[in-house]
Amino acid sequence: MFLFVLPHLAVFLLAMLGLSKRQRRGASLGRLVLAGLLLGVAFGLALQWLYGFDHPLVNDTLNWVNVVGGGYVRLLQMIVMPLVLVSILGATVKLHDLSALGKIGFSVLAVLMVTVAISAAIGIAMAQLFGLSAQGLAQGARELARGDALVGRADQLGELNLAQMIVGFIPANPFAELTGARPTSIISVVIFSMLLGLAAMLLRREEPEVGAKVVAGIELVSRWVLRLTRMIIRLTPYGVMALMTQVVATSNLHDILQLINFVVASYLGLGLILLVHALLLALGGISPLRFFRKVWPVLTFAFTSRSSAASIPLNIDTQVSRLGVDPAIANFSASFGATIGQNGCAGLYPAMLAVMIAPTVGVDPMTPGFILSLIAVVAISSFGIAGVGGGATFAAIIVLSTLDLPIALAGLLISIEPLIDMGRTAINVNGSMTAGALSSRVLGQTDWQRFNADDEAHPEPGRPA
């Protein structure tokens, strides 16, 4: 079988060589990522056209393509925790006023909470506009199995409430959190890094000589990890091409057409959320067009990988080196945005599901009381959403169970879940970068020379472009 796969792999390798040639000639990351995206779409469509959906040769080919796509995602996941640790630690020790930490955290969280509430309102409007309802959806074997799994997962959540979630953010074992053992490990690592940074600041005041050595060591390790991050980010075009190939080659057109109304409604809603982000940026004195042009590679990776957490290294690097966001703010917004206030997964999607499912139990989803309750529940439950593929399912379970709606019906959309999750993840990541850019602007920390620079080359964060 492998002999029949070889021609496919040869074509894929030739495409990678073409990207490599353009990269050596100095093409910008944005253009390389776009080229990788288009090549991935073309290769995936060719495989579908030649063999159809779910052919063994296609699956065997994708197993090898995944060495590039899956390997790139794992490399990014590898550096997420070290990057968050050293970046937050390094940013904290540079702060002269401890109150600045509170201002940064409040500003970032405020933007995330406001945008996730707006996203929920958009989700309600989209479900109503398109007349979406769970009553008309077929329940096959996959849907029933998915529904049973969701009910089981809801039982595991028990009586978990917001207060318990907040306590859960505090790291009992920071070494375990560094392994990503829990969905909220990123927030726990942020808290641990902040406390270490504050301890270093106090040590510098009490024992200047020792404190100076500690700060110098933090700066050294920070630059080391950032250099590793830059090495991996250079592989983004190849990872995007491989991931997009898998997405297109494994998409079932029949399932998509059956649920086309939900797909269209979801992406229209996601587009409206982007417009909200653009409006907020414009009101904050930030050019939306320049912003979106600079964050394009990050959104593309988030779209193809379906992982907010894996996007953190790209997210931080883009905010600092392209948007001119202060490093401390960039790290806070990227880290918090991967778990809290996800506009797509925790805002739009659960709201749409709730409106679709409510009529099945005789609840009118368009009463003011239900709408206000839904928006409030969505905003509060957005704390603790896992920043990985499937985080929207966790959000939906919390929202539906809180509103006493049947959770099993959320399994009706399993066939198009990956397609919708791609757009949701990109919106999640854009929401976190919007929070970072606005917070940096409000707090007067933006490097406007870097933001206004047309050169998309990657300068080392913290160094002049």
Dist CA 374 CA 399 (whole Å): 8
Average pLDDT over residues 36-58: 89
Comparing CA positions, the residue from 340, 456, 333 lying closest to residue 391 is: 340
DSSP symbol at 459:
P
Q: Quick one: pLDDT at residue 458?
A: 45
Dist CA 424 CA 270 (whole Å): 7
Lowest mean pLDDT among 186-195, 255-264, 372-381: 255-264
* DSSP letters for 185-209: HHHHHHHHHHHHHHHHHHHHHHSHH
How many CB atoms neighbour CB 147 within 10 A?
19
For residue 101, give every residue at least 6 positions away whose Cβ sits within 8 Å of its Cβ, in sequence order, or none.
92, 95, 194, 328
How far CA 247 is from CA of 80, 240, 348, in Å, comes to 24, 10, 22
The identity of residue 365, as a single letter, is P
Reported as a single tens digit per residue, the pLDDT across 146-197 is 555 555 555 555 555 566 667 777 888 999 988 877 767 888 888 899 899 8
DSSP symbol at 400:
H
Q: What is the pTM of this model?
A: 0.86
Query: Residue 127: pLDDT above 60?
Result: yes
Average pLDDT over residues 38-67: 90
Reported as a single tens digit per residue, the pLDDT across 281-331 is 999 999 999 999 999 999 999 999 988 888 999 999 999 999 999 988 998
Residue % of the chain over a pLDDT of 70: 88
Q: How many residues are listed for the chain in this entry? A: 465
Tokens of 245: 């190939």
Give the phi and the psi of residue 25 in degrees, each rounded to 5: -85, 0
Q: How confident is the model at residue 139 (pLDDT cuts 50, 70, 90)?
A: low
Dist CA 331 CA 93 (whole Å): 14
Q: Quick one: pLDDT at residue 152?
A: 56
Reported as a single tens digit per residue, the pLDDT across 4-27 is 889 999 999 999 999 999 999 988
Comparing CA positions, the residue from 195, 214, 194 lying closest to residue 204 is: 214
Tokens of 225: 């990890």
Reported as a single tens digit per residue, the pLDDT across 75-104 is 999 999 999 899 888 888 877 666 777 888
Dist CA 182 CA 80 (whole Å): 14
Q: Quick one: pLDDT at residue 460?
A: 42
Q: Tell me the pLDDT of the chain averaged across its residues.
A: 85
Q: Quick one: pLDDT at residue 389?
A: 42
Average pLDDT over residues 266-289: 96
Query: Residue 451: pLDDT above 50?
Result: yes
Dist CA 97 CA 216 (whole Å): 19
Lowest mean pLDDT among 43-57, 146-160, 378-392: 146-160
Comparing CA positions, the residue from 93, 317, 115, 96 lying closest to residue 197 is: 93
Q: Quick one: pLDDT at residue 3?
A: 78
Q: Quick one: pLDDT at residue 160?
A: 55
Q: Quick one: pLDDT at residue 288?
A: 96
Q: Quick one: pLDDT at residue 96?
A: 65
Q: Quick one: pLDDT at residue 321?
A: 92
Q: Quick one: pLDDT at residue 304?
A: 92
Reported as a single tens digit per residue, the pLDDT across 415-431 is 778 888 899 999 999 99
Architecture of the domain made up of 2-452: Orthogonal Bundle (1.10)
Q: Quick one: pLDDT at residue 464?
A: 34
Q: Quick one: pLDDT at residue 264?
A: 93
Question: What region, left, alpha or beta, does residue 462 occupy, with left being phi > 0 and alpha being psi -120 to 50 degrees?
Answer: left
Dist CA 338 CA 421 (whole Å): 14
Query: Residue 252: pLDDT above 80?
Result: no
Comparing CA positions, the residue from 319, 322, 282, 315 lying closest to residue 299 is: 315
Given the structure tokens 């007067």, which residue do they identify?
444
Average pLDDT over residues 18-44: 92
Reported as a single tens digit per residue, the pLDDT across 175-186 is 998 887 776 788
Which residue did the predictor score with more confidence, 132 or 160? 132
Q: Quick one: pLDDT at residue 402?
A: 81
